[in-house]
């Protein structure tokens, strides 16, 4: 069953057709990768999915409900969490506070005026955040300022923050961009582990073929704003169209 259904989505910026008639269907509990050369429209598509952009045509359904016209926070509350290319965390807050915020968002919704009880009294939230940090091996850094962590730890924290909301769909935007090979492999292992332990759908936009082929169960290749082909990794590897549009130019990167 498809949890995310993108139908006939088109988006134009002035004279540039960024997306033209995109159809995409992400099956529940799968890992689906969207790949494509630079300028293929991957980021535009992602921004449509999270509510940052509204497409000119088409529909985007998540779990049977349209996400179009909803604000990013509303879409998140529907169950879509997003991991950014460069980790977006609360740099001025401690790691523990970073972890508690999504827990509050999960429990209390988009806004709640809980201004009198202290954070420390929220035992369930503190417990949940601690568990999450434990699981992600960040518990010794709980009192640290998030901005002063290493890049790999920031990525880990950001993923942990997304998972704390128990999302149905986790969107990853080039999660290993700019990472050293060792960090990249750690991230791959982390994502594999997440997939094993949870009922979660992961959609990943990636440039790095190594990451894509280690994780993805299905792959959509995007070129010039339209999906070229959608198939399993094995078939994609050998697909002539894909080689031509994409793999040919970045084989050395893979």
The correct pick among 109, 178, 238, 248 for binding other proteins (CB under 8 A) is: 109
- 12 contributes a contact to other proteins by CB under 8 A: no
For residue 195 the two structure tokens come to: 């997939």
- Residues 118, 182, 199, 252: which binds other proteins (CB under 8 A)? 118
Distance, CA of 67 to chain centre: 16
Helix axes 123-135, 151-163, angle to 10 degrees: 130
Interface pick for other proteins out of 73, 166, 241, 244 (rule CB under 8 A):
73
DSSP states of 63-105 = TTEE-TT--HHHHHHHTEEEE-SS----TTSBHHHHHHHHHHH
Nearer to other proteins, 101 or 229 (CB): 101
Under rule CB under 8 A, residue 81 binds other proteins: yes
Q: How far is the CB of 254 from other proteins (least distance, A)?
A: 30
The span of 1-9, 14-22, 75-83, 239-247 binding other proteins (CB under 8 A) equals 75-83
> Considering only CA atoms, which of 235, 246, 180, 187 is closest in space to residue 211?
187
Per the rule left: phi > 0, alpha: psi between -120 and 50, beta: everything else, 220 is: beta
Residues that bind other proteins (CB under 8 A): 50, 71-74, 76-77, 81-82, 84, 88-94, 97, 100-102, 104-106, 108-122, 125, 142-145, 161, 165
């Amino acid at each position: 069953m498809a949890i995310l259904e993108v139908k006939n989505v088109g988006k134009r910026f002035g004279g540039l057709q960024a997306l033209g008639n995109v159809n995409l269907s992400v099956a529940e509990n799968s890992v689906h990768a969207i790949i494509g050369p630079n300028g293929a429209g991957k980021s535009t598509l992602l921004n449509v999915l999270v509510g940052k952009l509204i497409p000119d045509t088409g529909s985007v359904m998540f779990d049977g409900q349209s996400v179009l016209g909803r604000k990013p926070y509303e879409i998140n509350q529907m169950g879509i969490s997003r991991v950014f290319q460069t980790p977006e965390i609360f740099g001025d807050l401690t790691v523990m506070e970073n972890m508690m915020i999504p827990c509050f968002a999960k429990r209390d919704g988009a806004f709640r005026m809980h201004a009198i009880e202290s954070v420390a009294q929220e035992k369930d939230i503190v417990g949940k955040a601690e568990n999450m940090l434990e699981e992600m091996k960040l518990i010794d850094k709980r009192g640290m300022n998030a901005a002063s962590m290493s890049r790999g730890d920031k990525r880990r924290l950001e993923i942990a923050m997304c998972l704390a909301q128990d999302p149905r769909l986790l969107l990853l935007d080039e999660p290993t961009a700019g990472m050293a090979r060792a960090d990249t492999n750690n991230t791959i292992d982390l994502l594999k582990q997440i997939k094993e332990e949870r009922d979660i759908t992961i959609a990943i936009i990636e440039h790095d073929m190594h990451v894509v082929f280690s994780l993805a169960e299905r792959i959509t290749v995007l070129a010039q704003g339209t999906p070229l082909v959608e198939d399993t990794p094995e078939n994609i590897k050998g697909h002539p169209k894909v080689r031509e549009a994409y793999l040919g130019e970045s084989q050395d990167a893979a």
